[in-house]
Amino acid sequence: MYCGSLASISNKKSVMAVAISVVLVVSLLGSSYGFHFPAIYNLGDSNSDTGSVSATFGRVPPPYGESFFGRPSGRYSDGRLIIDFIADKLKLPFLSAYLDSIESNFRHGANFAASGSTIQPADGDLFGAGFNPLSLDIQLLQFEQFKERTKELYDKAKNPDFSDRLPRPEEFSKALYILDCGQNDLHYGLITTTEEQVKASIPYIISQFAVAIEKLYQEGARIFWIHSTGPIGCLPVFVINSPPKPENADPTGCIKSYNEVAQEFNKQLKDRISQLRAELLGAKLIYVDIYSAKYSLISEANQYGFVGPFISCCGHFGDYHVECGKTTVVNGTKIFGASCGEPTKHISWDGIHYTEAANQWVANRIFDGSLSDPLVPITKACL
């Protein structure tokens, strides 16, 4: 029999009521702010490579990386990439490149993206044209080995400093898987075949992309954030070196037919993702319209405080060509591909890749989910 006073009973009820209220508030806040991703695994090309190619084929030279890192960081930009801003938005550290052995930390994911890589398996023709042999199928093999070896090493690790640099095996299925690739497949086709032939090759390229998604799913991946390809016809390397004829230039000055190829690729990509949603039970596949974000920035560059979209900050195109960070001889004079000094006012960094300022603008544009299918902010992608 309980012998306490009525006052003590009342106090205990009050404490219990407060405790229940706290639990409810915490629960509501958890659903409002979304699940916290423990890791990111990224596959792609130079739009998201944080050091793979630099570690494998030679360090990216200065002035790459100057704006944020103060030195080359393995990124093909003056600073951060969209993937860096995504990591920051999700309160995770920048991703270490899987192939970079110096100071890498994979506790919160890994980056398998490689500059110059394609979705379609690399062959002699692609490699001969200057593209990377680390195509999407190879990146997938790297991920599979990474996951397998992580599980082996994590269980055996006796040094906490070592295990703290590895992802938790149980977190692979809770991570966010990002794919940002396809631009180089189109680039290769446009410089080696006709536009119609490139369009004819898209179904095969998309089929290879779908195979990669399915294999990641089999490895336990469940949440995918998939970027469309950007407006390739707006890259200064094409517009300046091969100016479009008036009838093939859009109102911004981009190469209309090249962008139509990119749009066809994105249409087929989005359709295939829709099919995969029905096939991969329990998976969430989010298509992100990067094309619209980038084209909006390019077509309204002045409105957003940037100079003309075809003016690269680093290197030079046109009457003579010198690549960013490299030296060439023009009329007997050595010329270095230097930075413009004001990369924050430029969209294009080196004629192919975007500046940190442009990457940040695009990242902020896609975070709220308004350009996603389904419409979901990245912070709530798992709900």
Q: What backbone phi and psi angles, to 5 degrees, belong to 288?
A: -115, 120
Cα separation, 204 vs 202, whole angstroms: 5
The yes-or-no answer on residue 108 being catalytic is: no
119 is written with which tokens?
Answer: 């979705």
Cis peptide before 121 (omega within 30 of 0): no
Q: What backbone phi and psi angles, to 5 degrees, belong to 100?
A: -95, 115
Catalytic residue among 117, 346, 353, 372: 353
CA-based radius of gyration for the chain: 24
Catalytic residue among 100, 137, 185, 350: 350
- 177: Cβ contacts below 8 Å, ≥ 6 apart: 40, 41, 42, 43, 216, 221, 223, 224, 225
Nearest to 348 by CA among 334, 362, 335, 332: 362
Catalytic residue among 46, 52, 201, 257: 46
Q: Quick one: which H or E segment has residue 286?
A: strand 284-288
The yes-or-no answer on residue 353 being catalytic is: yes
- 238: Cβ contacts below 8 Å, ≥ 6 apart: 190, 232, 255, 258
Question: How many residues belong to the chain?
Answer: 383
The yes-or-no answer on residue 125 being catalytic is: no
Catalytic sites, residue numbers: 46, 350, 353
